[in-house]
Structures are given as C-alpha cells and as structure tokens.
Structure 1
C-alpha cells in the first residue's frame, strides 16, 4: 500500500503534528499549517495525492515481544517501545486497517515527561536510573486502535414497587405495605461503546488512562500520524464483540436499576432487553508510552495523549529497600544501645 510522507509546503522538510500548537509545524523553517492547508497542498486537481509524494508505509515486527510498529520506508531500523529490542520488517498497513476516526494528540512529549516525573518522583524505592534523562527520552507517542460501535437497547420492564411502614400503638404493631406498578419501556442509546483492539498492552493500563473524550474524535487523516507510531489492531472485531455485549448488558442493567429506584423493594415481573450493535469501526487513540526493563521484567507507564491522565507500574529497587531497612535497623539498634547504657 502507498501513502503520503508529509513534508513542509515551504521548505520540503519532514513535518509532524504538534500538540502544543494544534497545528502541523516545521522544525526547520517554523512554518505552521492546519490540516486543511496541508491536505490541500498534497491533493492535486484530480483529487489524488501526487505520485512523486507517495511512499510505502511499512510495519516493523518485534521478534522479542511481538508488537507491531508502523513507520515509513525511510526507516531502516528502530526500537520497540515495549522492550527496546531491534525490530524488522513484517507486514503492510492496508484497507481494512484504515481507521474511521482519530483523536489527535493534545499532550506534548515535554508535558508527558513532566507528568511522568511528577508521578515517579513521589516514589522512594524506584531504581536510580528510572527517572534519568536517557530513560525519559524513550517515551514514545503511540496511536492505539480501539473498536467503536453504536449500541441500542430496547427495554421492556414491568414490576411491582413496595413501600413498607411499621409502627406501634400501645401493645399493637401495625404494618402498612403500599404497592405500585412499575412500567418502563423505551430505548437507550450509546454512540461510542467499544473495547481495545490491541492486546500487547495490559488492558488494566489502558483502562487506567481512560476514558477519552469522544467529542474530540475527528475523521481519520493520515497527517496526524506523522511524528508518532501507530498500531494496527490485532484483536478482530469478532473477538471483541462478545465482551462489548457483556459490558453493555451490565451497563444497561445498571441504567434500569437507576430508573426503577425509589422503592424499598422492587419485584420484577417482566424484564426484557433487546441489544443491537451497529456501525462497527475502529479509531486511533493517543497515548505516550514509556517502558522500563528491570531484573527481567518490563514495566510500562502511559499518559493519555488527550487528557494527560497517567497510570503505570513501578519497579522496586531492592538495593534501596535494603539500604532503608538497614538504616532503620541501625537507628533502632543505636537507640536500644543508648537506652541500655542508661539502664546499667
């Protein structure tokens, strides 16, 4: 497959989307372009991309951890942002992998590094080089694939609501039970339900930096990938659908309990829910990813590229833990020794 390698319309240097400016900025001549201006400069009168600007977009496959990375064919070698091992050419990015929407980065690399330092700097027992400059330079902007779907639930609920009151008058106890008929029928809709289409990152990590504001999603434009990595989905829709249905059934069940609340007791007599999913597609969501290998284990830290929400795992430096424990033990021993001197 061929696609465009975006270049500055003024000087021809490589250009990428800059989250700080919300525009495409050339680092050489400092020119700035909106998406509309950039695309207009690349589309010819026939509505096609000029042939001399077309280049192959290729995938690199990491043989160590299995991640797929997307870059242009001018790159002969790169590193895997999960395990930092060299990666080699694997497949192609083709039609079925073209996303419908994308949420562009709003958090810059510098800001992502600041958020990481704020998060990790509060931890006492991390390895010394965990927050080093060389480590920070490994933070990588990645667009992650996420399956999206429109959901509609037709609800038909009939039940009985009860309110019970108990009181005493003298030696007599009275119980009053009021019964109410509850009827709830209608449609509930969600425009952007979904789940991750990528299983190389722990779902707990992705959930930790969510949610994303879907109002910020725009029609997919290749230009926004310039300067970032982009992942293909490796979890097909057929595998995601049962999980999405299960989550939606739980959510709509919760919504039903909300709209039938207000009674001491609700006794269902009829409870039907017809769930329909339509317009499946996948979007690319922005994240800054930083990985750290320590004692044979890989730790991953992520920043939501739209909101800045952070989440991750921390390695524990055994040396720092033992040093602290030794210091505490020495202080306790000294205190006991001094106390013993006074006792004698």
Structure 2
C-alpha cells in the first residue's frame, strides 16, 4: 500500500518537522488517499515488481520513488503494537552528526558532505518493549569507617553491620532491538528515546522511511531485557547502600517476570560513510538527535600535521645549534 495525494496524485509521506503527512510533489497537507496492495510486493503506483528481502516492510520503489508498505507483513504475529514517530528530519540529523564529530582531529574532508548525504536513510527499527516486575533480595556486610587524630596518632574505627534489602520494582517499556542486522551495542548507545511519545501503531508513520519486521522474537530477546532491568535495579540498590564505605554482598538476587510485551518501531537515521575501502556506520536517534559512531582518521591530514609540527621543531633546533655555534 501507499499514500496518494488527492490533489496531484503524488506520494504523501510523514514530515517530522511539521508532524503531519505532506505530499512530496505539491506540498498538500490534506488527508491522503490510502491505496491498498493489489498484488504482493508490486508497487501500487507504477506496477513494477519490487525486489525485497523477507524482512522488508517499507521501502522506496526503485522505479518511481514511491514509498511502498507491504501490508501483508503486518498481519497476525507481525501486527505492530506501538510506534514512536520521527521528530527530526534528514538535514537536522546530518547537522547533529557534523556537530558531534566536528572537533575530531584528522576527520576526512568530505565527511557528511553534500556529496555523501544521500547515503543517510531513515529507518524504523523493530523493537520488543517489555513491562517487567523485578524482585530484589540483597544480604551482606557493610562497613562505616571513622578516622581522627589523637596526639601523634592517626586513629581508625571500623563498624561492621549486617544489611538486608528486599524490594520490588516495576519497569515499563524496556526496549530491545529485534533486528539481527542492527548492531546491539550501537542500538543501546543511541538510547534513550522520549518514550512518552510512544503511541498506537499507524502505518502512515512508515511512509517516507524504510522499515523492517522483526527477525528475533520476544522470547529470544527476553534475557537482554532482564539484563537491562538488573542493571537498573543494581543502581537502585547502590542508592540504598550509599551511606556505607564498603559493602560485601553474600546474596544479590534479582528475579524478573514479564508482565507484557509490545512489538514496536523506533526511529533512527543511519549514515554509511565509505573511506579507505571500509564502511563506517553512524546512527542518529530519530527523536532526540543523539549521534553515535566511530569516525575514521584521514592519514593525509595526519601526515601534513606531523610534517608541519616536527618540521617546525627540526628548524627550531637547527637554529639553536647554529646560534650556539656562533656564540
């Protein structure tokens, strides 16, 4: 399916800046016409057959440029629950990426240039989001240390206590990316999103962006959600024990159970920069603008800097030796 402008027949896509559907051709902001899918994986607009991977959900037709959504891939167990719409557009994402890495030494000159901007693409990444109930039970020994001076002596008094902590925590919407193609470490780094903007899924938000269905189910990913909950619980536990100088745990047990899970889509800009025969991938949170990645080093810039610095140093030493010889 795709969204067609009732005014000119152009493709209507979601605009993050205006937070509404806008025709790419005439700029009309009226309610678009939803054109349903007649044949599977055939562009509803131009009739061309679209080559797509099994996990593709929304993509741009390579023949006419229309954003096509495969509605048959949103059925049964693949019916989405939630979506968090894009809040920043491509140009804003690129500016944030430039700002993030602008101060890095020896950055290649064409990084984030106009000639490479086309490699930046907006993606809706599939996530499982979990509501968890966690019970924490902790036992251990803790020390409070007091020091003072008495005459010529430094005195130390250590008081040891037995401590027990037992509490419950409820977590809402812990996110875990459900795409094997996306690097888990980067997806964790680009968090957090402003989850209060999460809403019921509506396919219109996919128009203008690429999207994939999940290829890792919620049961497979539950351990990652539990690991995140354990990390948060440990921080709470640390707050309870902050009054002590040293803590030695004997029992540190955390048990999490799933209350609910939600198949969701979160927005992400991906920029692939090719340098020195290698691809460097960067990610920008499509809502908050947080940018992550590792930029390459321009060897030519580094060499010029090395020659300039050490050439100047060599010249200075030569002059000093000359002047000392004259004297």
TM-score for the superposition, normalised by structure 2? 0.79
Tell me the equivalent position of 1:103.
Answer: 84
Tell me the equivalent position of 2:321.
Answer: 340
| CA pair 135-185 structure 1, distance change in 2 beyond 3 A | same
Mean alpha-carbon deviation: is it higher for 148-157 or for 301-310?
A: 148-157
Work out whether residues 142 and 287 of structure 1, in 8 Å CA contact, stay in contact via their aligned partners in 2: yes
Mean alpha-carbon deviation: is it higher for 221-230 or for 114-123?
A: 114-123
Q: CA deviation at 1:258?
A: 2.4
Summarize deviations over 1:13-35 as a string: whole Å, max 9, x none: 101110110111123332224xx
| CA pair 18-54 structure 1, distance change in 2 beyond 3 A | farther
Mean alpha-carbon deviation: is it higher for 261-270 or for 227-236?
A: 261-270
5 Å-filtered alignment, 1:168-183, equals none
Tell me the equivalent position of 1:60.
Answer: 52
Tell me the equivalent position of 2:20.
Answer: 23
1:9 equivalent in alignment to 2:6:
yes
Tell me the equivalent position of 2:265.
Answer: 284
1:303 equivalent in alignment to 2:284:
yes
Mean alpha-carbon deviation: is it higher for 299-308 or for 114-123?
A: 114-123
Summarize deviations over 1:262-296 as a string: whole Å, max 9, x none: 35566778765432113222211111111012223
Work out whether residues 148 and 282 of structure 1, in 8 Å CA contact, stay in contact via their aligned partners in 2: yes
1:142 equivalent in alignment to 2:134:
no
Q: SS of the residue aligned with 1:131?
A: coil
Q: SS of the residue aligned with 1:93?
A: helix
Aligned-residue CA RMSD (Å): 3.4
Q: CA deviation at 1:156?
A: 4.9
Number of residue pairs matched?
308
Work out whether residues 5 and 54 of structure 1, in 8 Å CA contact, stay in contact via their aligned partners in 2: no
User: Unaligned 5+ residue runs, structure 2?
Assistant: 42-49, 66-71
Q: SS of the residue aligned with 1:210?
A: coil
Q: CA deviation at 1:162?
A: 6.8
Tell me the equivalent position of 2:44.
Answer: none
Mean alpha-carbon deviation: is it higher for 327-336 or for 249-258?
A: 249-258
Mean alpha-carbon deviation: is it higher for 312-321 or for 122-131?
A: 122-131
TM-score for the superposition, normalised by structure 1? 0.75
Q: SS of the residue aligned with 2:115?
A: helix
User: Unaligned 5+ residue runs, structure 1?
Assistant: 43-49, 62-66, 79-91
Summarize deviations over 1:204-259 as a string: whole Å, max 9, x none: 32233211111111111111111111122233333312222233233323323423
Summarize deviations over 1:160-205 as a string: whole Å, max 9, x none: 77767688999xx9979596x8665443100111322123233332
